[in-house]
Amino acid sequence: MSNGKQSSHAGISLVEIIVAVSIISATLFALAAVSRIAFRSVNEASHRIQGSFLLEESFEAFKMIRDDGWASISSLPLDEEQFLVFSSGSWSATTTETLIDGLFRRTITVREVFRDPADSIALTGTSDPNTRRLNVHVEWDERGKNISLSTVTYITNLFLE
Amino acid sequence: MKNFFRQKKGVTLLETVLYVSIIAIVAALVVQTILSMFFAFSRARDIRRVSLDGSFALERMTREIRLASAVRAGESVFNVHPSVLSLDTVKSSSDAAPSVKKIYIQDDRIVLEEDGVSFYLTSPRATTTSFIFRSIETPHSNGIKIEIALETDSRKETISQSFYNSVILRESYK
d(Cα B23, Cα B21) in Å, to the nearest integer?
Answer: 5
In DSSP terms, B119 is beta-bridged to B112
Whether the CB of A77 is below 8 Å from some CB of chain B: the reply is no
Strands laid side by side in the B127-137 sheet: B127-137, B142-153, B158-168
Query: What percent of chain A shows pLDDT beyond 70?
Result: 93
Q: Who among B48, B138, B168 is closest to A42 (CB)?
A: B48
Which residue, among B74, B56, B42, B63, has the nearest Cα to B157 in the 3D structure?
A: B42
Query: What percent of chain A shows pLDDT beyond 90?
Result: 66
Q: Are A46 and B47 an interchain contact pair (Cβ–Cβ within 8 Å)? A: yes
d(Cα B157, Cα B174) in Å, to the nearest integer?
Answer: 48
Q: Are B164 and A64 an interchain contact pair (Cβ–Cβ within 8 Å)? A: no
CA triple B117-B118-B124, angle to 5 deg: 155
Q: b or e along B2-12 (b: 16 or more beta carbons within 10 Å of the residue's beta carbon)?
A: eeeeeeeeeee
Which helix (H) or strand (E) segment holds residue B167: the answer is strand B158-168
Which residue, among A111, A130, A134, A112, has the nearest Cα to A61 in the 3D structure?
A: A134
Q: Is the pLDDT of residue B11 over 90?
A: no
Tell me the pLDDT tens digit for each residue of B74-110.
999 999 989 999 999 999 989 999 999 999 999 999 9
How distant is the Cα of B173 from the closest Cα of chain A, in angstroms? 9
d(Cα B55, Cα B164) in Å, to the nearest integer?
Answer: 10
Q: Who among B22, B48, B54 is closest to A17 (CB)?
A: B22
In three-state secondary structure terms, A108 is strand
**Contact list, A13 vs chain B (CB under 8 Å):** 15
Helix pair B2-67, A2-68: axis angle to 10 deg: 10
Tell me the pLDDT tens digit for each residue of A12-51.
677 887 888 889 888 888 988 888 888 889 999 999 999 9
d(Cα B121, Cα B74) in Å, to the nearest integer?
Answer: 23
Per-residue confidence (pLDDT) for residue A11, from 0 to 100 = 56
pTM: 0.84
Q: Who among A17, A63, A67 is closest to B139 (CB)?
A: A67
Tell me the pLDDT tens digit for each residue of B111-159.
999 988 999 999 999 999 999 999 999 999 999 999 999 999 988 789 9
Q: Are A101 and B162 an interchain contact pair (Cβ–Cβ within 8 Å)? A: yes
How many angstroms from the chain centroid is the CA of residue A134? Answer: 17
**Chain A, nearest residue to B17 by Cα:** A14
Q: Are B139 and A68 an interchain contact pair (Cβ–Cβ within 8 Å)? A: yes
